[in-house]
Amino acid sequence: MNIETREVQIFKQELLVRENFLANYKTYLKRYIADGSAREDTLITYYSHISQYLEWCLIEGLQPLNVDKNILIEYRNYLVSLKLEIPTIALKLSALRRFYEIALSRKIIPENPVLGVKAPKQRKAANIEGAKYISVEQLENLFHIIPEHSEIAKEQEEFLRAKSLIALMGLQGLRTVETHRLSCEDIDFSKGLVLVKGKGRDRYIAPREDVLNLLKTYLDLRQLSCEAKDTLGTPVFTSLSNNNTGKRLSRCAIRDVIDYWFICAGIKEKGDHSGRSCHLLRHTTGALLYQATHDLIVVQKELGHVDPKTTSKYAHIQDILSKRYTQNIPIKTL
């Protein structure tokens, strides 16, 4: 009869703990992310990024809880090879950093291998926050090209949905995730207030009257059963596809809607998969609002920025555009 040594028993026990952690990482994430109060869509994003990493480890023959920084650098380089956007790579690494933080806190690993592993530097000046936005004329044209009426009920709902999304993003500065999370219970038409469920905290906004009227027209037209209610409430923006009719419109689907009308308006070319269209509308709100008010505090409150430095970038780009210092050099070129 073989009697296992103490070392073998400890090894098996540690192996069991690690296997249990990997099998139940979703449960652990739910406990730790946002102090246990993360919204379902946020958790799904974390699950997706970590699942992709675990699948990569499986393909590469790696034990994810027995890797070092060099392995994570390899994974970062793999993400770069996929030609992913730099913010996307940064988000994936952030999710993994949190995953390993939890493993470290539970004494499953001795250190966090993601520490010090960063996404590539963003070297394109065009991607400076606030530098890219569409003009008032382009925004007006975007609304104009979406038909006012259709005899087909589904098309009419689709047109109103698109206009409402563009209005909330381009005139009120909502993020994609905020339009995704918006529920009927969050809108108080009598007071003209909307509760926006943001990335880190919630806030109230008082939308323009025309934006509220557009939302009301859209919601009055839409037929929605009580079965469509989910963990966030009764969704404002719902799918019209055959498989998901009446269900909350996903973030990807919202981007698809905006991309479609951007292409129709000539703002974006077909085949452009940069994925920046929705945020382009948010930048438009920030840029145009600063142009109209020259008040960074107003812009910060409207966009829900926690860090004033984020808002200051709108002033920075406007300052560059308005102060052409080299114009003062007394040289004639023509």
Structural domains of the chain ordered from first start: 6-123 (1.10.150.130), 136-322 (1.10.443.10)
Q: Is the pLDDT of residue 45 over 90?
A: no
H-only helix segments in the chain: 6-23, 25-32, 40-60, 69-81, 86-105, 136-145, 153-170, 176-181, 209-221, 251-264, 277-293, 296-303, 308-322
Angle at 259 between CA 257 and CA 261, to 5 degrees: 75
| C-alpha dist (Å) from residue 125 to 129, 261, 317 | 9, 26, 11
Using only the alpha carbons of the chain, give its radius of gyration: 24
User: Residue 78: what pLDDT?
Assistant: 95
Which of the residue ranges 142-156, 186-200, 315-329 would you say has the lowest mean pLDDT? 315-329
User: Residue 188: what pLDDT?
Assistant: 95
Q: Is the pLDDT of residue 262 over 80?
A: yes
The answer for 112, left when phi > 0, alpha when psi is -120 to 50, beta otherwise, is beta
For the chain, the distance separating the N- and C-terminal CA atoms, rounded to the nearest angstrom, is 99
Q: Is the pLDDT of residue 305 over 80?
A: no
Query: DSSP 3-state assignment of 197?
Result: strand
User: Residue 227: what pLDDT?
Assistant: 63
Determine the average pLDDT of the residues in 246-253: 90
Instruction: Give me the helix-helix angle, 251-264 and 277-293, nearest 10°.
Output: 70
Tokens of 208: 């323009």
pLDDT-based confidence at 25, cuts 50/70/90?
Answer: confident
Greatest mean pLDDT among 131-140, 252-261, 274-283: 252-261
| C-alpha dist (Å) from residue 199 to 32, 96, 202, 203, 242 | 16, 18, 8, 10, 30
